[in-house]
Amino acid sequence: MFTGIVEEVGIVRSLDEIGDGVVLSIAATTTRDGVALGDSINVNGACLTITSIDHEGFTFGLAPETLRRTNFGAVRPGSRVNLERAVRVGDRFGGHYVQGHVDRVLRIIRVRPDGDSRVISFELPEDFGRYVVEKGFIAIDGVSLTVSERFEGGFSIALIAYTQDHVALAGKGEGDLVNVEVDIMAKYVESLLAASRPATAVRS
């Protein structure tokens, strides 16, 4: 479990194809501290398992399913990625419940300044819109954010000046892809409501 509060922006060192998967190596300092083999790290919104650690960073194995459901196919050596270690008991919880399970990859459709903030707008497919509500939580590339606006076919978030300096998302522009995880509470409510509906009678 994560909170969506980015601890560090890491730098991709390499991506090496091995069989049907990919080994992703990332340079990091803060998030390397106190972790061990098998621990989970939120990398750009995806919960990945550490497979090796060295004095400059760590590596992860990306399964074909991970590559299909995330924007890692667009990552290259030198790319900046958001990193967060898993929450420990007693930690401050500054964001919202983030599982690190990417629901969908969406495209940025517009970026504009708003004072010292940066407003980023994303496409919103019709079948995904029910999970995105104005002033609700959403995780974009692992960053816990508030939906500032819903509009026909899309939604926006605003990055304040401080956040812009501490997340990789601020460096993305129109056409770039992002990993999106909606608030888990929305999916629980949807599941509970579906289960409570009476079964449709079958007429003979």
Give the tens place of pLDDT for each residue, 78-130. Answer: 999 999 999 876 676 677 889 999 999 999 999 999 999 999 999 999 999 99
At residue 47, does pLDDT exceed 90? yes
Looking at the DSSP bridge assignments, the partners of residue 112 are 119
pTM for this one?
0.88
- Asked if 86 contacts 2 with a C-beta cutoff of 8 angstroms, the reply is yes
Is 151 an annotated catalytic residue?
no
Is 128 an annotated catalytic residue?
no
Catalytic residue among 63, 74, 93, 191: 63
* Rounded CA separation 187/146 (Å): 17
Nearest alpha-carbon partner for 135 in 148, 123, 145: 148
What mean pLDDT is predicted for residues 60-76? 93
Is 194 an annotated catalytic residue?
no
Is 52 an annotated catalytic residue?
no
Catalytic residue among 51, 86, 101, 128: 101
Q: Residues 185-204: pLDDT tens digits?
A: 777 677 777 787 776 555 55
CA distances from 20 to 8, 15, 45 (A): 29, 13, 22
Is 49 an annotated catalytic residue?
yes
